[in-house]
Amino acid sequence: MTAKKNKDSKDNEQAILEVIEQYPREEASLIMILQEVQDRLNWLPPEAMEMVAKELNLSLAKVRGVATFYKAFSLKPRGEKLIKVCLGTACHVRGASMLVEELERELKVKAGEGVTEDGKFSVETVNCVGACAMAPAVVVGENYYANVTPGNLSGMLKKERAS
């Protein structure tokens, strides 16, 4: 188990270094580096932020400051699939907040916090995915679901669980 853990963290380190290599080592690259690190690891573990700080010669406080300021970054592990419920105005007036509550209940996980027991899903709310004509919209990975209602959410989950 420890051996595996060590291997994982070695892999992570390698991945982080690869990302950093692609950018000039300056503050202006920070957000883009963090984004790509997150794309690879699915979240931003503390060690990743420490490494980025060291490599860019920035204080950890600065890196964490940026990582906590922007919504795109997750400082907690996320599920295999991220369910984004759009809470844009168009989705709101067509009942999106009901979807968040239903998902939280159904999956027993709070939006923006934690992962389902099987590690499959995390739920997040987003301010607007720009798919207003499909309101209310839910995005899972690259799949957009249009006109979602509390009643047809379970169908969506079934489909996503299977794939």
Partner 1 sequence: MSLKLQKFASLDAFCDFANRIAKTSDGKSREIRVCCGPGCLARGSKQIHEELVKEIDSHSAELKKAGLELNVTLSEKCTGCHGLCEAGPVVTIEPEETFYVHVKPENAKEIVEKTLIGGEEIKKLLYKLDDSKGGECAHKYSDIPFYALQHRIALRNVGVVDPLDFDDWISHGGMQGFLKSLAMKPEEVIDEVDRSGLRGRGGAGFPTGRKWKSALKAKEKAGTDRVWIICNGDEGDPGAFMDRAIMEGDPYSVIEGMMIGAYALGATEGYIYVRHEYPLAVRHLEKAIETLTTAGLLGEDILGTGMNFTLKISRGGGAFVCGESSALMRSLEGKVGEPRAKYVRSVEKGLHDEPTVLNNVESFTCVPMILSKGADHFASLGSSTSKGTKAFSLVGKVKNTGLIEVPMGRTLQEIIFDIGGGIQNDRPFKAVQTGGPSGGCLPAKKLDLPVDFDSLSKAGAMMGSGGMIVMDDHTCMVDVAKYFIKFLIGESCGKCVPCREGLRQVYDLLDKITRGEGEMGDLDKIDRLCHTMEVASLCALGKSAPYPVTSTIKYFRDEYEAHIVDKMCPAGVCKDLISYEINDNCTGCVVCARHCPVDAISGEKQKLHVIDEEKCISCGICMSVCKFDAVDIKSGGIIVSRTEPVAIS
- Give me the least distance between CB of 4 and partner 1, in Å please: 32
Whether the CB-CB separation of 45 and 52 falls below 8 Å is answered with no
Q: Per-residue string for binding with partner 1, 38-77, x by CB under 8 A?
A: ---------------------------xx--xxxxx----
In angstroms, rounded to a whole number, what is the distance separating the alpha carbons of residues 26 and 56? 6
CB of 154 to partner 1, least distance (A): 8
- Of 90, 114, 120, 156, the one binding partner 1 (CB under 8 A) is 90
Q: Which stretch binds partner 1 (CB under 8 A): 1-9, 40-48, 97-105, 115-123?
A: 97-105
Residues binding partner 1: what is the number (CB under 8 A)? 50
For helices 46-56 and 2-21, give the axis angle rounded to 10 degrees: 40
b/e 81-98 (16+ beta carbons within 10 angstroms → b)? bbbbbbbbebbeebebee
Decide if residue 134 touches partner 1 (CB under 8 A).
Answer: yes
Instruction: Name the residue among 75, 156, 78, 74 with its Cα closest to residue 120.
Output: 78
- CA pair distance 89, 160, nearest whole angstrom: 26
> Applying CB under 8 A, which part among 6-14, 41-49, 89-97, 113-121 lies near partner 1?
89-97
Return the number of the residue (46 or 65) whose C-beta is nearest partner 1: 65
Q: Which stretch binds partner 1 (CB under 8 A): 9-17, 22-30, 75-83, 114-122?
A: 22-30
Task: Give the type of residue at 25.
Answer: R
